[in-house]
Chain A
Amino acid sequence: MAFVHAKDTFISLDANDLSSFTNTSELSRTADSHDVTTYGKDSHVFSGGLLNGNASMGGIYDSTTSGPRDVIEPLIGTVVELIRRPEGTGSGLPEDAVNVLVTNYTETNAVASMVQWRADLQLSDDVTSTDQT
């Protein structure tokens, strides 16, 4: 058993490394469920269907051209590649790559805080999960 800290997470969107502006991210995968219960059963029976999922990322706003506003805002409504390495970058460590539709980009300005940002992503097509080489 080995716990992993999230501080080394790598995340990129459309080949832009946004790790240093990000402090939270999620990748959620789901599947359709089909009720195939038939007569004679006492409990529901299900079969799996199409896969689905969504992702989100957020963090601290940065004003440079490599920051979240300049990178993500132009991508709203487009499908680009998301790469996420939950244990960081290194040989043998896991990586998920998937096309995503950028559905939302939000900036939040609370008076006593750093400017923060968040993006919501809809998974499109299969997730490719591999170990890094």
Chain B
Amino acid sequence: MDVADVMQEIADQLDTIDGLRPYGWAAESVTVPGAVVGYPEITFDATYGRGMDRWDLPVWAVVAKASNRGAREQMSKFASGGGISTFKQVLEAGSYTSLDVLRAATATPDQITIGTSDYLAYRFDLEIAGQGSA
């Protein structure tokens, strides 16, 4: 699996969510509501002969400022377990060429500072498996 290819494909899949602005890199400035694809933690050699690698890759959903009353409703669209805009459903429904398996395993509330303001975020931890040497 190629790090750049996987990060971009995930961003492309998130781009299918109406109104969401995804970033396939660790963007310094984010237009909200946005999604930022992080770099993976890679475990090599899940099978013999470089057959399979396993990654843990974070993706952040970033919505309004944490103090914004509407932040909860905005984040609910992305962080809930099911629904056409939820990261869980959208990411696992994707058809990918850069990886074999993707599972949104956990979602943890977080806070991200953009400029001088704190924004409500959720960190999604994706379990990814795919070809090791290819």
Contacts and interface: CB of A to CB of B under 8 A. Distances in A.
Interface of A: 6-11, 19-23, 59-60, 112, 114
Interface of B: 44-52, 101, 105, 129, 132
Q: From DSSP, what is the main secondary structure of chain A's interface residues?
A: mixed
B51 A19 contact: yes
B127 to A, nearest CB: 9
Nearest to A89: B49
A19 B50 CA distance: 9
A21 B47 CA distance: 6
B46 A60 contact: yes
Nearest to A18: B48
Contacts of B49: 7-10, 19-20
A21 B129 contact: no
B52 A20 contact: yes
Contacts of B52: 20-21, 60
A19 B129 contact: no
Contacts of B48: 6-11, 19-20, 22-23, 59
A68 to B, nearest CB: 11
A114 B129 contact: yes
Given A20-B47, A21-B52, 8 more contacts: A6-B48, A7-B44, A7-B48, A10-B48, A20-B48, A20-B52, A22-B51, A60-B51
